């Protein structure tokens, strides 16, 4: 089942509610783009590619549910919807990319309201369908790097749940497993929202891939003791110089991998590469609510004392010098990134 999908019978958007996994599998249904934007903010849906597809379908909801009777009126409403959706999460470039693609691809000959509505939905569906094929191409490229018997540390969740289907970094692991390679995954918990322990472990269980959950700060131990052969993670945005913005904790993981000569790869679709930014320092970092840190409990008791405050950046920046390679659907990119990333992105924009 897809993480994000359109119900053509009811003209509604359906998404797996990732806040409830692994204990409960539930499909959330949306018929208003305002609620889609809130769902992205609240992390009903998460993962850069999945967010992009959700935002595109949010525009489709705005178009289909609109009562506009003129092309100009509907276009204004779409711009309003786009502005709201763009505010839902600032770091993931796929959200911006998907909205820009939908609105910029509207044919100049299109001047009929119903035709515009159908175009927006078709374009959103195309983004979702293409995401799966792109993920599989990335997975095949990355699986070449995985050797039989490898143990891999994986951070956050980058599987089918983080995309429309299949996955990025976890998609590479899944492909290697399907090819018959015997691999073992060390799953970073990924605090504070525990996407690794909750989501990645759940997905690996579905695929029958052996794994162990580890605390984030145990990764250095396993790397230093020689028990790990690869480190894989995704990205929410990649700058033109190869700096990577990814889930908080990625920088420390990549640093430990680098110090122990363990290759670390970021796995991303080219839609995640932002050539307009020269370095990762220009990527906006989302600060999430303190409660995600302060409300953690053990044995039903809060860990933090009353009155405590917290800082909760959702992402960090991993400098390009720590990254062995960046796996894309158009091939594996190695340094110098400022030259070689442009080649794979340009490939996707040619007619």
Q: Percent of the chain scored above 70 by pLDDT? A: 99
> Which one has a higher pLDDT value, 116 or 92?
116
Last residue within a domain, chosen from 113, 135, 157: 135
pLDDT of residue 306: 93
pLDDT band of 351, cuts 50, 70, 90? very low
Taking only the tens place, the pLDDT of each residue in 290-334 is: 999 999 999 989 999 999 999 999 999 999 999 999 999 999 999
- Regarding whether 18 and 55 lie in a shared domain, the answer is yes
Options 131, 236, 243, 316, the catalytic residue: 236
Q: What is the CATH number of the domain that holds 211?
A: 3.40.50.10470
Domain boundary among 135, 170, 205: 135
Same domain, 191 and 71: no
Confidence of residue 20 (pLDDT cuts 50, 70, 90): very high
Query: Which of 9-13, 104-108, 332-336, 338-342 bottoms out in mean pLDDT, i.e. has the lowest?
Result: 104-108
Q: 130 and 145 in one domain?
A: no
Question: What does pTM read for this prediction?
Answer: 0.91
Cα atoms found within 13 Å of the Cα of residue 328, Cβ hemisphere only: 23
Q: Are both 289 and 184 inside the same structural domain?
A: yes
Measured CA distances, 46 to 50, 222, 260, 270, 282 (Å): 6, 28, 31, 18, 22
Q: Which domain holds residue 223?
A: 140-349
Q: What is the pLDDT of residue 348?
A: 46
CATH of residue 23's domain is 1.20.120.420
Within this chain, do residues 120 and 165 fall inside the same structural domain, yes or no?
no
- Give me the mean pLDDT over the 210-230 stretch: 98
Q: Do 277 and 229 reside in the same domain of the chain? A: yes
Please give the angle made by the CA atoms of 96, 102 and 108, to the nearest 5 degrees: 135
Residue 117 sits in the same domain as residue 163 = no
Q: In terms of domains, do 84 and 225 share one?
A: no
Is residue 198 located within the same domain as residue 83?
Answer: no
78 shares a domain with 8: yes
Q: List all residues 6 or more positions away from 153 whose beta carbon is below 8 Å from its beta carbon.
A: 185, 186, 188, 214, 219, 222, 223, 228, 230, 231, 232, 253, 257
Q: Is 148 a catalytic residue?
A: no
Same domain, 59 and 157: no
Could you tell me the pLDDT band of residue 108, with boundaries at 50, 70 and 90? confident
- What's the total number of domains in the chain? 2
**3-class secondary structure, 269:** coil
Identify the pLDDT of residue 347: 53
CA distance 317 to 223: 20
Cis peptide before 336 (omega within 30 of 0): yes
Pairing of strands 273-274, 244-247: unpaired
Final residue in a domain of this structure, among 135, 164, 179: 135
Does residue 350 register a pLDDT over 50?
no
- 108 or 237, greater pLDDT: 237
22 and 110 in a single domain? The answer is yes
Q: What is the mean pLDDT of residues 6-22?
A: 96
């Amino acid at each position: 089942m897809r993480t994000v999908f359109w119900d053509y019978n009811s003209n509604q958007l359906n998404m797996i509610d990732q806040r409830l996994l692994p204990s409960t599998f539930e499909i959330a249904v949306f018929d208003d783009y305002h609620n889609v934007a809130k769902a992205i903010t609240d992390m009903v849906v998460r993962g850069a590619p999945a967010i992009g597809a959700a935002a595109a379908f949010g525009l489709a909801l705005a178009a289909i549910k609109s009562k506009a009777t003129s092309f100009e009126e509907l276009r204004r409403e779409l711009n309003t919807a786009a502005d709201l959706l763009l505010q839902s999460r600032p770091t993931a470039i796929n959200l911006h990319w998907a909205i820009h693609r939908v609105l910029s691809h509207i044919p100049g000959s299109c001047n009929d309201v119903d035709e515009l509505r159908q175009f927006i939905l078709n374009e959103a569906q195309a983004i979702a369908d293409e995401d799966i094929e792109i993920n599989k191409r990335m997975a095949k490229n990355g699986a070449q790097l995985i050797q039989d018997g490898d143990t891999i540390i994986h951070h956050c969740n980058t599987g089918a749940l983080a995309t429309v289907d299949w996955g990025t970094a976890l998609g590479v692991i899944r492909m290697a497993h399907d090819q018959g390679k015997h691999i073992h995954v060390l799953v970073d918990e990924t605090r504070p929202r525990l996407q690794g322990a909750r989501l990645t472990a759940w997905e690996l269980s579905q695929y029958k891939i052996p794994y162990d959950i580890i605390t984030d700060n145990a990764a250095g131990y396993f790397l230093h003791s020689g028990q790990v052969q690869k480190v894989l993670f995704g990205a929410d945005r990649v700058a033109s110089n190869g700096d990577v913005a990814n889930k908080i904790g990625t920088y420390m993981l990549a640093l430990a991998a680098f110090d122990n000569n363990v290759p670390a790869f970021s796995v991303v679709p080219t839609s995640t590469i932002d050539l307009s930014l020269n370095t990762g320092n220009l990527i906006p970092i989302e600060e999430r609510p303190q409660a995600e840190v302060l409300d953690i409990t053990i044995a039903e008791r809060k860990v933090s004392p009353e009155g405590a405050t917290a800082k909760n950046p959702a992402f960090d920046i991993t400098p390009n010098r720590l990254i062995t390679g960046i796996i894309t659907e158009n091939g594996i990119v190695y340094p110098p990134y400022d030259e070689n990333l442009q080649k794979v992105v340009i490939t996707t924009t040619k007619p």
